[in-house]
Amino acid sequence: MDQQENTPFQYNPEGSAGDAPDAEPSQEPAVARESSKTVSWQAPEFIEHHHPGSWYAALVVITAALATVVYLTTKDLFAAGTIIVMGVIVWVFAGHKPGLAQYGATDRGLSINGKLYPFSAYKSFTVLQEGDFNSVNLFPLKRFMPPISAYFSPADEKKITDVLGNHLPYEERQMDGIDKLARRLRL
């Protein structure tokens, strides 16, 4: 696709799987409402992954083994304790259930639960498929600012990306290494 670097791009996915009516997840429906230059929808804050008891058992064993190896090699109790605390944090994070978020895209920016992220702070966006939902990710202009993600039903992809495409260029991207690792670990 030809596009200039700083011009808005009308994103138009071809052959999108979002037209299937059975693509809706069983959690809560993600319904987009659209007006001339705005669209709003509801979707989970993040993708929930089921963790069986064996997953938690493996987490305990790996955390304990790693803390033991670090302590035996460095004799540093603080480093071993830090690894154990990190394991507890992962346990708590893995058990957290997603809430239902309110999303919206207007001429001013992307809003998530009432907080506005203005388009002027972002250089581009991309769409990633993550299970039953897709996510739109806005990439910031500032180097150390994190990207913003908003989940949506694949059926609403065109409405949402049309509004975003009027303000930001679409950039084809894949998941980065940290996201792939988190997905593989089912976090």
| Tens-digit pLDDT string for the chain (187 aa) | 444 444 343 444 444 433 433 434 434 444 454 444 788 887 777 766 677 888 889 889 999 999 999 999 999 999 999 999 999 988 888 777 777 888 888 888 888 888 999 988 988 888 887 767 788 888 888 888 888 888 888 888 888 888 888 888 888 866 666 555 555 555 5
Contact in structure between 107 and 95 (CB atoms under 8 Å): no
Task: Supply the CATH classification number for the domain 23-48+99-184.
Answer: 2.30.29
Q: Is 97 left (phi over 0), alpha (psi -120 to 50) or beta?
A: beta
Per the DSSP assignment, residues forming a β-bridge with 40 are 33, 104
Q: Which residues contact 173 (CB under 8 A, 6 or more apart)?
A: 126, 128, 137, 139
Local structure of 79: helix, strand or coil: helix
Quick one: pLDDT at residue 35? Answer: 43
Going from N- to C-terminal start, the domains of the chain cover: 23-48+99-184, 53-95
Predicted pLDDT of residue 8 = 40
Q: Note the pLDDT of residue 64.
A: 94
3-state secondary structure (DSSP) of residue 49: coil
Owner of token pair 């809430």: 99
pLDDT at 20: 39
Q: Return the pLDDT at 183.
A: 56
Q: What is the pLDDT of residue 78?
A: 94
